[in-house]
């Protein structure tokens, strides 16, 4: 999952990748604070675990929909109508379901706070 935090110096949003599914796991992995270098200004940012947040990956939805449009375009000219009627919702449904799952994971992460002294 990708986690986000704001730089204390330039307020730019930064992200890093982790295997942690919640803040407890992140705390185990990183301690009470994360130490990451800001990609924008280079400042080493210290952020408490509770100040780090998760966001669903919007590219899943954007790229999924673009692929969906391309597939729809191709099958419209090559398959019978009855198949198109069933295929199109599936083609657009899959990226949407994947994005919903991401969204659920992200809000589960954001809901649970840890005590960090």
Q: Is residue 10 part of the contact set for Zn ion (CB under 5 A)?
A: yes
Secondary structure (3-state) at 53: strand
Q: Is residue 40 part of the contact set for Zn ion (CB under 5 A)?
A: yes
User: Whole-angstrom Cα distance, residue 8 to residue 113?
Assistant: 21
Question: Which C-beta is closer to Zn ion: that of 43 or that of 72?
Answer: 43
User: Whole-angstrom Cα distance, residue 54 to residue 73?
Assistant: 34
User: Whole-angstrom Cα distance, residue 19 to residue 54?
Assistant: 12
What minimum distance in Å lies between the beta carbon of 45 and Zn ion? 7
Q: Is residue 7 part of the contact set for Zn ion (CB under 5 A)?
A: yes
Question: Which C-beta is closer to Zn ion: that of 43 or that of 50?
Answer: 43
Binding region for Zn ion (CB under 5 A): 7, 9-10, 12, 38, 40-41, 43
């Amino acid at each position: 999952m990708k986690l986000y935090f704001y730089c204390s110096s330039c307020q730019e949003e930064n992200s890093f990748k982790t295997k942690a599914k919640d803040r407890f796991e992140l705390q185990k992995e990183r301690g009470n604070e994360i130490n990451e270098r800001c990609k924008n200004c280079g400042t080493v940012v210290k952020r408490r675990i509770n100040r780090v947040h998760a966001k669903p990956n919007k590219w899943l939805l954007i790229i999924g929909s673009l692929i969906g449009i391309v597939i729809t375009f191709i099958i419209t000219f090559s398959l019978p109508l009855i198949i198109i009627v069933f295929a199109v919702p599936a083609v657009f449904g899959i990226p949407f379901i994947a994005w919903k799952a991401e969204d659920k994971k992200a809000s589960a992460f954001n809901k649970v706070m840890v005590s960090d002294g």
